[in-house]
Amino acid sequence: MIFHHKDRIRRRKKIKIFITQICILQ
């Protein structure tokens, strides 16, 4: 469960970075 939670956080970080990149492009 801990591992799963960590993976979730990692995914959140990736999504945040992705959104930031899109904002910069626009």
One DSSP character per residue, 1-26 reads -HHHHHHHHHHHHHHHHHHHHHHHH-
pLDDT value of residue 2: 64
Instruction: Give the whole-angstrom CA distance, residue 2 versus residue 17.
Output: 23
The model's pTM:
0.50
Tokens of 8: 């979730």
CA distance 25 to 3: 33
pLDDT in the model for residue 10 = 84
1-26 pLDDT, tens digit per residue, is 566 777 787 889 999 999 999 999 87
- Rounded CA-CA distance 7/23 in Å is 24
